Amino acid sequence: MNRALIDKLEETSHLTKEEWITLIERRSQDTAEYLFGKARKWQKKYYGNKVYTRGLIEFTNYCKNDCYYCGIRRSSPNAQRYRLTREQIMECCREGYELGFRTFVLQGGEDGWFSQRTLEEVVRSIKENFPDCAITLSIGERSYESYEGLFQAGADRYLLRHETADPKHYRKLHPSELSLRQRKDCLYQLKKIGYQTGTGFMVGSPGQTAQCLAEDMIFIRELEPHMVGIGPFVPHHETPFAQEPGGTVELTLFMIGLLRVMLPKLLLPATTALGTIDPLGREKGIQAGANVVMPNLSPVSVRKKYELYDNKICTGDEAAECRMCLNQRMKNIGYELVVDRGDFPDHL
């Protein structure tokens, strides 16, 4: 029964909400293996055994938002706030370039201190110095004009997870000033402007049901993003969700497999959160259909401060160590980390 649903997903790339719920609720180890087999077949067709890599630069942990799950929310009492200077950001890129990174992801909280002009200048100077690299921004909800300006300045891609596509669940995870409608509008705008656009969600966030995950899959099918980042929810000790259980490796892998089969060309990261709850989480993510890893390029001095959740891995490791570590990890499972921008196939 579930195999038939996976076959249908592969053939049509659409399931009804009820079918998604059945597939997710009644999953078993057996169906998961069947799913991962198909996921790897598509992964191989479009990407061979290549794994793309992005250098993540966490340039500010100031944030005006107050998402209940996040360790750098504005009311986190003990978060030690920092901002990298433009020079520090450029230094991360220089180091990253030497190590073979050809995509830089600038990620931060929603921090008004960085004006539109400053952000555009940062993007422009990275492009000037590293013309063969792609720039990904992950800086939250902004106006159409702002997204457009940053695109004109040279940004190629944008990551903005929708977090959950179920409006009631969205309310449970966020304070009332944030809305799912707004979030979705931003994503459609980003695509329209021409960004390679990434969305995503946490697996096992408080209050999430199979129904919510079904909504996530239906929304992603409709949006047709180029990238989807998913990872387990991991509680942070200073948030309202400190006592909530975290998401599981098993369900996260299953969702990765479903995404690969639904939209076979997707860029799908095996996330740091997955590596945090299982020492072999990233390897398992790749074997379930993921094809991207995003190690950290931020200066070691600030790494621990960008603490979205507890026990985040690699906070003490130099960028070079992570690069070597991931090289080896990918080699161990028969994959190869490549020096490449790693664009979405056929993106013009």
Q: In angstroms, what is the minimal distance from the CB of 116 to ligand 5AD?
A: 21
Residue 202 or 286: the one with the smaller Cβ distance to ligand 5AD is 202
| Contact partner, 70, from ligand FES, ligand 5AD, none, Cβ < 5-8 Å per class | ligand 5AD
CB of 339 to ligand 5AD, least distance (A): 25
Q: 66 or 278: whose CB is closer to ligand FES?
A: 278
Return the one option of ligand 5AD, ligand FES, none that residue 161 interacts with (CB less than 5 to 8 A, by type). ligand 5AD
Residue nearest ligand 5AD, Cβ-based = 309
* Helix, strand or coil, per DSSP, at residue 203: strand
**258 forms part of the interface with ligand FES (CB under 6 A):** no
Beta strands in 139-251 (DSSP E): 157-159, 196-203, 227-232
- According to CB under 6 A, which one of 190, 234, 268, 330 is a site residue for ligand 5AD? 234
CA-based angle 167:170:176, to the nearest 5?
Answer: 100
From the CB of 234, what's the least distance to ligand FES, in Å? 16
| Cβ-contact 268, 301 below 8 angstroms | no
Tell me which residue of 308, 346, 314 sits closest to 329, measured CA to CA.
Answer: 314
Q: Tell me the C-alpha distance between 223 and 184, whole Å.
A: 9
**Which residue, 9 or 72, is less far from ligand 5AD as judged by CB?**
72
**Terminal Cα distance for the chain, rounded:** 39
Q: Does 163 bind ligand 5AD (CB under 6 A)?
A: yes
Q: What is the footprint of ligand 5AD within residues 269-288 (CB under 6 A)?
A: 273
Provide the 8-state DSSP code for 246.
Answer: P
Per CB under 6 A, 7 contacts ligand FES: no
Q: Is 158 a residue that touches ligand 5AD (CB under 6 A)? A: no
Q: Candidates 9, 133, 308, 313: give the one binding ligand 5AD (CB under 6 A).
A: 308
272 contacts: CB under 8 Å, gap ≥ 6: 231, 282, 294, 295, 296, 312, 313, 314
* Residues 72, 73, 76, 80, CA torsion sign: positive
Q: Which long-range contacts (CB under 8 A, 24 or more apart) does 269-273 make?
A: 269/54, 269/227, 269/229, 269/293, 269/294, 271/229, 271/230, 271/231, 272/231, 272/296, 272/312, 272/313, 272/314, 273/202, 273/231, 273/232, 273/233, 273/234, 273/309, 273/312
Partner whose binding site includes residue 338, from ligand FES, ligand 5AD, none (CB under 5 to 8 Å by kind): none
Q: Which does 234 bind (CB under 5 to 8 A by kind): ligand 5AD, ligand FES, none?
A: ligand 5AD
Please state the closest distance from residue 296 (CB atom) to ligand FES, in A. 7
Residue 81 and residue 332: Cα distance in Å, rounded? Answer: 37
Binding-site member from 56, 223, 268, 314 for ligand FES (CB under 6 A): 314
| Binding track, positions 7-46, relative to ligand 5AD; x by CB under 6 A | ----------------------------------------
Q: Please, which of residues 101-120 interact with ligand 5AD by CB under 6 A?
A: none
Rounded Cα distance, 302 and 242, in Å: 23
Report which secondary-structure segment, H or E, holds 152. Answer: helix 144-153
213 binds, among ligand 5AD, ligand FES, none (CB under 5 to 8 A by kind): none
**What mask of x and - would describe binding to ligand FES in positions 284 to 313, judged by CB under 6 A?**
-----------x------------------
The residues binding ligand FES (CB under 6 A) are 295, 314, 317, 321-322, 325-326
